Amino acid sequence: MAMTLRAVWLAVPEDPDERLRRARALELDSIRQLRTQARSLERLSLEPEIPPTVLDERIAELERLGEAGIPPDEVIACGLGDEAIYARIYRTHRTQRTTHSSPRSKVSMQAASKERSSL
């Protein structure tokens, strides 16, 4: 579900500059994940395919361009008008694991409303 949401989020804008911005945001998130994996491998005395220092350089470059990464999946889903699908898949699973409401979800819903207005 998350990959589909992100693919649609990336493809929706007709403006090429916005598509590029979103592609960079997705790249930033991916590189951050690779860096985490690379550091974990190094802690295990294994050699990562790409050294964390190389990944750090690209992360810094993207951050200098103003990229912050992609919004949470909930914000993307709501921004695309898929609140019902998101709620059914994610909320049902989350409810089974916990009985309290997350402050992050309230913030995410507010951000979703802003994201929806920018789409």
For residues 78 and 115, the answer to whether their CB atoms sit within 8 Å is: yes
Q: Which of the residue ranges 10-19, 56-65, 108-117 has the most confident prediction, judged by mean pLDDT?
A: 56-65
Q: How far apart are CA 24 and CA 26, in angstroms?
A: 5
Residue 72 in tokens: 């949470």
| pLDDT for the residue 107 | 52
Say whether pLDDT at 70 is over 50: yes
pTM (whole model) above 0.75 = no
CA end-to-end distance (rounded Å), the chain = 20
| pLDDT for the residue 81 | 73
Q: Which residue has the higher pLDDT, 72 or 44?
A: 44
Instruction: Using a pLDDT cut of 70, give the percent of the chain over it.
Output: 68
Mean confidence (pLDDT) of the chain:
79
Domain range annotation of the chain: 1-70, 71-119
